[in-house]
Structures are given as C-alpha cells and as structure tokens.
Structure 1
C-alpha cells in the first residue's frame, strides 16, 4: 500500500481520523453497483467508489463517511494499477484525478467518461442483469445497444441540459451529491448548438438555475432562467440582452412550475416518428437526439409484431407527457381505434392537447394514472407504460393487470424500479416476453429499457 507521503496528493489536506471525509485510502475495486459506483471494501466496510473500473487498484478520497455509516462514498484520486479499459477522460471538469489534483471534486454528469464505450455498455448490462436477478428473480443477460449514427465517441447527443450558477455568476455544475458548484467552459455531451450559445461567457449573477433546450431538428432553442429570490426584473433583462437574438428566453419558477415569456416562445418544437411536438418550458422530452425515434420504434415494433397494435385496437399511453408515443399509437389504431393518453403534469397535458389536436380517436386526460385507471374502468388491447424514474409502483401495476390488456410495453430509465415493478407483474401471473436496452446516456451510468410484458396464461 502506497503511503500518503509518496502520493502526489500529499499536499492536499488529509484527515487522519479513520473514516473522516478527506481521508485517503488504497483499495481494490470490485464490481459495478447501480448508480454509477464501484464496490470496494476497507476493513469490512463497503465503499462506493466513483470514477473507478473493476479490477483496478486505486487511491481514493472519502467524500461521504462516518463511523456510524453503513457504507462510505469516495472518489478516485490516483490510479495505481489501471484497467485496460481505462481511457483519457474527454472532459477536464469531470476528470476525477485531474480535479482532485487541482484541489477539489469533479462535476457530475460524466461519471463513466474514463471507460471505453464498449466496456461502459458491458458494465451497464451487468447492472441490469443484477437488478433483474435481485428484484424480479430473473436470470437474463441483455446487450445494451449503441444508438444513432455517431456512437463512436458518445459525445454531442444531449438536446437538453440544466446548469447551476456559481457565487460569482458563472455557469456551473454541481459536484456529485454536493452543494459545491464548479464553473464550466464546455459541455461535450451536448449538441454543438448548445455549446455555440457560450453561456459560460455571461455574467449570470441573480440567477439560480439555467435550463437549455436545443431541439435536434434545428428549430429555435429555448433558455429558461430561474431568478434568485429578490432578483430585480431589470437584472433579468440585463442578462436577456446578452443572449443571442434568435433564441427564445423565458423565466421560470421551479417550485410553482410557472414559465413566463421574456422573448420568443416559451416552448420548443421537437420532431419524431413523422410528427411535430410542442414541449413547453421544463416539460419532459427524451434528451438524446436519437432517443425519441429509437424508443417509438422499439415500442411499436413489439406491439405490432405481437398483433397488439392494429387498426381498431384500444390502447392506453400512461405517463404520456407531450404525446411522444400517443401520436404514433393513434396512427396505428386509425380512426376506428382509440388511444387514452394520461399525464399528471398539467403543462405536459396541455402540450399533448395541442400536439394531438384533430386526432378524434385520442382522449387526453390530465391526472394521476392510478386515479384515471380507477375511474375509467376500461379495458385495453395494449398499454404503453413510461413512468418517471421512480417507476409505476405496486398500486398501478395491480390496476393495470386488472384492466386485462393483452400486452404492456414498459419504457424505463431506471433498472431498479423496472425490475421491482417486473417483480409485481410476476406475482400477478405475468411474464417478461422480450427486453431491449439502449445506451441513451453515454458516459453516464444511465440506460433505457423497453420490455414487453404479457399474461402468462
């Protein structure tokens, strides 16, 4: 074990109290865990380490610890024995070793950027398999598929990004699980159009958060500014004057969900599967430029091949957002069929009404999915289920099984909540017929799955 005195980090303040944050230890890295961490152990204690690779020997710095904690968290500060899958990080601000050499943590949002893309996808497949085994009792290996034409470097795919603002008014991002905001000068994961805005050159004093949407179809971008309490309208308009004139700008209050027009539109126009979609403010839209087409294709392929989606069919689109799936479902069932579109967020539901205007076979209902299912008491040939990260949950799964659809296409951005819900379906006599996994978030630990779930009988 390398001593602290030999370490290039010896100049950094290191707390010698065992388990105190800031302590440096040398550990061997074990398997990946859900959430972008890797498992290490020190004197019997589990440590979740970021920026490592299985099989490495590394020096880590404890970032979240204590004698009473069940487990500790840490960052890699030095690689002593490297994995063959380690590559130079593409983003200086997110490079853990370089950041700690400069005296502080890296920004979050690219926690697997030091690993080759092929190995990233294999590790994500391991996480998915482990969650399915532990929470659903399934032994299933699933390849995590690359997406889009330009998947050689995994960069330039984000159409949306959220930023914090430093105390000096500069665009920044948070360190992982931290209130620390670090200034940034680039966002390599984002579309070039987002970087071209050069928001890091502006004085954003008085703004707490900045959200940016740059549609993949090249339509007008939208910048959302969340002013700090007490920021004057004059200050907001001063920032507005610094922004490019061809960009829409709005202010928003995250706590109230209010979006107020400052210039141009309060929404962006997205395109997918032959349809245009209006998405207002912070409204949800898949962030990878190729995600909408990929997911619509996977869902409609599963349902069509099984005969669950055809002219005249009755279909439900639950957690429907602005209608990404609703529009192609309406195309498939035709005027003789029906699509029930359910979304809880009022703004997204209003967008869906605009996006599906003129589709007589579509009924759009704004409300909680469990309440709408309880009140409608309708049966469906098939269901598209695309819940938020927390998943659908036991109550919704039970209600869905009770409505008696022939198939459910479940779209999930979280392997743990997906596997948990799949366990509920299994308990109710349903089974996973097919599963695909997509690498829609390269260089991060996230992945997307589309599963076809059917009654066992």
Structure 2
C-alpha cells in the first residue's frame, strides 16, 4: 500500500520551433486519463486542461514544439460552456495557477461520471472489456472539499507558503488549500487502531480506509480456515481484517516493500506472517512452502501497478479470488488483461471518489478463476 512520490516530467529534446503561447479556437472532445480532455489542432492531438467535453473554447498551448506528436494546453476562454461547468470554489484554481486540482470547474456528479468514463475507456482499450462503472461518493469530505488529512505546502522565500503549478517547479502563493481537512488522519478503522509512522502512507481521504476494507471483504467473502496473501500490505490495513475473517484455523501473510511499514504491520496484525521486501522477490522465494498456494489474494500496488512478474506469481498460487485495489485505471486495465491470459476474469468492479476535484479515482476489482484456468 506504500506509494512512491510522483515523478516530475522529464525534459524532452525540442523538435522544431516552440508552439507555447499560440491560441486556437476548438471544440473539446472526450475526457482522457490524466485530468484533461482531447482536442485537435492542425491534425494534432492537444490535451486540454480546464475544459469539458463538448465545450467550445480558446486554448493556449502550454507545452509543445512543431514536430511533437501532441501538445498540451489550457482552456483560457470558454465560448460555449458545458451545463456541467461551475465556478471553481478555490481562487487559486485555473489556467496558470495551482496545479493540484484538475476538476474544480466541474460539478461533483459530472466529475464522477468523467472518472467513470476514463475507467471504462481504459478497460475497453487495454483489457478489451465492456464494464459498467459508477464512481461512488465516500463520506468524509464536504462537497468535495476539506478531505486531505495530510497536506504539503512549499515554503516560499521570505515566509508564506505555496503550491506547485501543473507540471512545473514554479509556485503559486496561497493562503490555504480548500482540499485540506481541518484535522489529521484517524488511524481507527472499524474500531481497530493502527500504528502508522510519521509521514508513512495512509489513505488521505478520511472515509477511504473503511470504504476500501468493506469493498475488499465484500468482494473476497473470506471463509474460516482460508489462507490469504496481502501484497503491498502497508501497515496491515487489509491483513488485520482478513486475519479476523479467516479465524484461528486460517492464515494470512503480509508482504510490503517499505521496511518501516512492514515492521508496524507486525504490531497491527497479531498472528499474521509478515515479510519485508520487494513483492515479486518475496513471492519468488521468500515465503514458507505452504504459501505456494493461497485461497485469496489482495493486491494494493503503487501507481505503476503489479505488472506481469507479480501477476504470474499470484496466479501460480491458484487463488479462488483476487481483490485488486488500484489507484491508476491504466495500470489496472493492463494487469486485468494479464490475469485474463491466465484464466482469471474480472467478476466485479467498484470505483470510489477518494480524491474529489482531481482526476484520480480508486478502484477495487474482483478477479476470479474461470473453469478454463490452467492448473
């Protein structure tokens, strides 16, 4: 469950003259993964922020050269607004301002539908699946605001604080972020208290831990006496409840790459076998022989997903069910396709709006073994 810091974009070699600053009138196309919509200028794709599908806007190019396959831009003037457009609640949101939010200009129900469209499109394009997706609201925010229980600002020279612009090291001075919650995170979930290191990973939306635990347990329906692997286990959020569900005749193993989080999971999850290390490496040779088989698996990888090596280690254990907790729809779709190669089908999917006002969405996918799965 540990999440690495987001990578900043690498500078690309220029391919012809810069197009930054050029303006075009366009009709905005569909939403795309990443917090923008697609438009076309001179037969070239432009990824446009601060727009909505169907709008007519003036876009200004923010990244791109003459020879690039695609450009990036901001909608700096809206000529024909979507009915889903609303005034941004934050004065720092918008073109050239804070880059933390992608969707403040969109009504909350429409934000969730846009995210659902992205998940559907990724599963259709990458996994060749048609899936009905509804993004569910989660209790704990205030109309999409005041949910970030951990917030970081940039200290500005001479005092004050700021936030980064989109895809930039430049900062915008702010008084406060409207996403910031009035209180820090609670580590109490379903009446169980978890130890978490200062700065260690924990879901930032106050309703997220319980919503995800409920979704995972509902999907897996663990039975007394079963064995369960919790991969990318963090401090043991899922392990704790899996252990209680399978009872004293069952067993749970938790694998986590962050050693500090793994050590805390030993305290948080009495009776669970804990292993610290690279998940693929531990699965390949770091568990006792009885873990060559498992009834259930939880996968909660970082944004890059589990990838083929880990998926193949999972299916080799022939679990009856896998709950995949995904924070990136593209990585989820890729890994679902790999599971399908090995006879596992996507049985259900739930999506949660754990990051309102941004393009991010969390999914819990259930994968079950088909009759044709190799043994």
Alpha-carbon spacing, 1:284–1:150, altered in 2? closer, same or farther (3 Å): closer
User: What are the within-5 Å matches in structure 2 for residues 215-226 of structure 1?
Assistant: 215=185, 217=186
Partner of 2:216: 299
Cα offset, 1:74, TM superposition: 0.8
Residue 141 of structure 2 contacts residue 205 of structure 2 at CA under 8 Å; is this kept in 1? no
User: What are the within-5 Å matches in structure 2 for residues 240-259 of structure 1?
Assistant: none
Residue 140 of structure 2 contacts residue 205 of structure 2 at CA under 8 Å; is this kept in 1? no
Structure 1 segments of 4+ aligned residues over 4 angstroms from their partners:
none
Correspondence 1:451 to 2:365:
yes
Q: Secondary structure at the match of 2:275?
A: strand
Partner of 1:395: 309
Hey, what's the Cα distance between the residues in 2 that align with 1:31 and 1:65?
A: 20
Cα offset, 1:149, TM superposition: 6.0
Cα offset, 1:68, TM superposition: 1.8
Hey, what's the Cα distance between the residues in 2 that align with 1:325 and 1:428?
A: 25
| Deviates most, 289-298 or 154-163 | 154-163
Hey, what's the Cα distance between the residues in 2 that align with 1:19 and 1:81?
A: 28
Partner of 2:262: 349
User: What are the within-5 Å matches in structure 2 for residues 24-423 of structure 1?
Assistant: 24-96=23-95, 105-148=96-139, 153-193=143-183, 214-215=184-185, 217=186, 270-304=187-221, 309-356=222-269, 359-360=270-271, 362-375=272-285, 376=287, 377=289, 378=291, 379-423=293-337
| Deviates most, 375-384 or 402-411 | 375-384
Q: Secondary structure at the match of 2:125?
A: helix
Residue 49 of structure 1 contacts residue 76 of structure 1 at CA under 8 Å; is this kept in 2? yes
TM-score normalised by the chain length of structure 1: 0.75
Rg comparison, structure with higher value: 1
Hey, what's the Cα distance between the residues in 1 that align with 2:67 and 2:141?
A: 47
Residue 273 of structure 1 contacts residue 328 of structure 1 at CA under 8 Å; is this kept in 2? no
Cα offset, 1:19, TM superposition: 5.1
RMSD value over aligned CA atoms?
1.5
TM-score normalised by the chain length of structure 2: 0.91
Cα offset, 1:291, TM superposition: 0.3
String of CA shifts for 1:203-258, please: whole Å, max 9, x gaps: xxxxxxxxxxx12x4xxxxxxxxxxxxxxxxxxxxxxxxxxxxxxxxxxxxxxxxx
Hey, what's the Cα distance between the residues in 2 that align with 1:427 and 1:289?
A: 37
Hey, what's the Cα distance between the residues in 1 that align with 2:43 and 2:159?
A: 44
Hey, what's the Cα distance between the residues in 2 that align with 1:72 and 1:168?
A: 36
Cα offset, 1:168, TM superposition: 3.6
Task: Choose between structure 1 and 2 for higher RCO, CA contacts under 8 A separated by at least 6 residues.
Answer: 2
Structure 1 unaligned blocks of 5 or more? 1-16, 97-104, 194-213, 218-269
Hey, what's the Cα distance between the residues in 2 that align with 1:168 and 1:138?
A: 54
